[in-house]
A and B are shown apart, each in its own frame.
Chain A
Amino acid sequence: MATSGMRAVVVGAGPAGMRAAQTLVAAGIRPVVIDEAGRSGGQIYRRPPEGFVRDAETLYGADAAKARDLHAMFDRLRDAIDYRPDTLAWNVAGDMLHVVTDGVADALPFDALILATGATDRLLPIAGWTRPGCYSLGGAQVALKAQGCAIGRRVLFLGTGPLLYLVAHQYRKAGVEVAAVLDTAPFAAQVRALPDLMVRPGFLLRGASFRAGLQAAGVTVANGVVPRAIEGGREVSGLRYRIGDKEHHVAADAVAMGFHLRSETQLADLAGCPFLFDAASGQWRPDADRDGRSPRAGVYLAGDGARVLGADAAEAGGRLAALAALADAGHAVDAGELAALRRRMAMLDRFRRGLATAFPWPADLARSVADDVILCRCENITAGQLRETASAKGAPELNRTKALSRIGMGRCQGRFCGSAAAEILADARGTPLAEVGRLRGQAPVKPLSMATAKGTRP
């Protein structure tokens, strides 16, 4: 079957989307590549604006060669793809992807849709987390990498996951004072994860060196941290926390916080992909086979938007998803390449399990958030209001809870309250986490102006 006429659309120009596009082009297809950012790279390989001068080593550290390779490859693809930066993909309806570029709407019919939508920080509320000066961990990294700025003069890093140590290391290297690195995961968990993490000794060693470097510079690096409150008045002044029975305080004028990552799955949801509950992470993910092929015909998933496996897996996953789309369209696919990519994914999946053991999502912290703490940053809804909705109003699952309490209805659409809201609801109702379900994706997946929705230029 001829495939040159296949209408392929890739959403996202991070490592997964870029490799998917490359694989399609190599098969003689001219894909549309939609990216919300102005420049390709995604978050991990994000490129600063034109005119910035730091080299790849400074920006990407040990991943500099990979970043250079990906950027150069994608620049070479430029004439072979229909590349649309600064474009939001905001809905999937039938076999049509709806996008908007600079206020102008367009609808793209597809035979194959490869969703490489990436991830954001996974958050849980801590008293005071809406104070100016408190940012997501990924946000703190974006400020430094893409703008050459630090989020404060004395920055506290709080949460868990590999990004916690990486961003703290990058800030220290950039000459910013690091107040402390406070990990909610117990150190024993990290030791327990070693057998799985050993499948990538280089990566493991790098993480250990970040930690050692921070400690050698006199920075407090602590595990088993229970955050109590981000303190201050109109500004962040520090954090009160506990380790075991002991209360501690650290002064800081900025906090970077995050608890590993969550996938951006709204478009997969709108496309009609079924979701599975992943008990290890306590998150739902769109169902897909090992190559990223969803049960929904014509829809393929790749990278952290499908499952958080990191940048190297995103590159392999992007290739695999494109190969799956090609194979389904009757194109001959190199069996050796397929087998090698699948082996690589299996190894990286073992590493993912190691990370989940080493940096567990602190469900108990989310469940024990005090009633007066703001859970929904968008609309100032407290954890207590959610508990009230669960008990007095009897909301059995998250979408009903959303209708009754507005949790997840604000402008972030539950991206930053959803994980904790599920824990609090399950806890209040005494049901397993999977039974409270997940917030359904809604179009538009991000706010659009009314002028756009009407299809007119503002």
Chain B
Amino acid sequence: MAEISVSGRLHRVAEGDRAPVSFRLDGREVTALAGDSVLTAALTNGRTLRVSEFGDGDRAGFCMMGACQDCWMWTEGGDRLRACTTPVADGMALSTIPVGEGLWPRPA
């Protein structure tokens, strides 16, 4: 597995004064802010959301408005959620790689 960068892709330029929310991202305990989408929460703590199932690399969302479906993430429980339209919540456990062997084909 690739080394995980700790610097985020998105960076906050406003609205920083909100309550913290704790969640797990690829096994790391990290923090976001109340009102963040899962996409914002994940990408202020990391660089990607998922790996393309079709072998063309990492993805980090695209349209941010629920139209492109390029930001689906996994939960540790094996569910999928659309990161740009799902609010982050305390205790969420998210994964950028598929959970459960054989659920999806994964590029080598």
- Give 24 pairs: A residue, B residue, CB < 8 Å, sorted on A: A48-B15, A120-B67, A131-B57, A136-B68, A138-B63, A139-B62, A142-B64, A147-B36, A147-B40, A148-B13, A148-B14, A149-B40, A150-B13, A151-B9, A153-B11, A174-B13, A176-B13, A234-B57, A374-B56, A377-B70, A378-B54, A378-B70, A412-B70, A416-B62
Q: Provide the bound-state CA to CA distance between A147 and B33, in Å.
A: 10
Which residues in window 6-23 of B have CB below 8 A to A? Answer: 9-19
Q: Provide the bound-state CA to CA distance between A149 and B35, in Å.
A: 12
Residue contact A135 to B54, C-beta cutoff 8 Å = no
A residues near B18, Cβ cutoff 8 Å: 51-52
Interface string of A36-77 (1 = CB under 8 A from B): 111000010000111111100010000000000000000000
Residue contact A53 to B12, C-beta cutoff 8 Å = no
A147-B37 in contact given A120-B63, A175-B13, A378-B69 (Cβ < 8 Å)? yes
Pick the contact of A132: B12, B34, B60, B64 (CB < 8 A).
B60
| B44 at interface, CB cutoff 8 A | yes
B residues near A174, Cβ cutoff 8 Å: 13-14
| A349 at interface, CB cutoff 8 A | no
B residues near A176, Cβ cutoff 8 Å: 13
| B58 at interface, CB cutoff 8 A | yes
Q: Which residues does B use to contact A, with CB under 8 Å? A: 2, 9-19, 34-37, 40, 44, 47-48, 52, 54-70, 84-85, 87
Q: Which residues does A use to contact B, with CB under 8 Å? A: 36-38, 43, 48-54, 58, 120-121, 130-136, 138-140, 142-144, 147-153, 174-176, 234-235, 254, 264, 374, 377-380, 411-412, 415-416, 446-447
Ranked nearest first, the 10 interchain pairs of A and B with the lowest CB-CB distance are A148-B15, A139-B64, A380-B54, A132-B60, A49-B35, A148-B14, A411-B69, A142-B64, A149-B10, A380-B56
Residue contact B58 to A412, C-beta cutoff 8 Å = no
Residue contact A380 to B52, C-beta cutoff 8 Å = yes
Residue contact B87 to A49, C-beta cutoff 8 Å = yes
Q: Provide the bound-state CA to CA distance between A377 and B19, in Å.
A: 36
A residues near B15, Cβ cutoff 8 Å: 48, 52-54, 147-148
**Chain B, Cβ-Cβ closest to A52:** B15
B residues near A264, Cβ cutoff 8 Å: 67
B residues near A148, Cβ cutoff 8 Å: 12-16
In the complex, how many angstroms separate the beta carbon of A258 from the nearest chain B beta carbon? 10
Q: Provide the bound-state CA to CA distance between A130 and B84, in Å.
A: 17
Pick the contact of A121: B35, B54, B63 (CB < 8 A).
B63
Residue contact A138 to B65, C-beta cutoff 8 Å = yes
The residue among B19, B60, B62 with the most chain A CB atoms within 10 A of its own CB is B62
Q: Provide the bound-state CA to CA distance between A234 and B63, in Å.
A: 19
Q: Provide the bound-state CA to CA distance between A133 and B37, in Å.
A: 17
A residues near B56, Cβ cutoff 8 Å: 130, 374, 380
In the complex, how many angstroms separate the beta carbon of B31 from the nearest chain A beta carbon? 15
Q: Provide the bound-state CA to CA distance between A131 and B67, in Å.
A: 18
Q: Provide the bound-state CA to CA distance between A235 and B9, in Å.
A: 10
B residues near A51, Cβ cutoff 8 Å: 18-19, 34-35
Residue contact B13 to A48, C-beta cutoff 8 Å = no
Residue contact A377 to B17, C-beta cutoff 8 Å = no
A136-B63 in contact given A147-B36, A380-B54, A416-B68 (Cβ < 8 Å)? yes
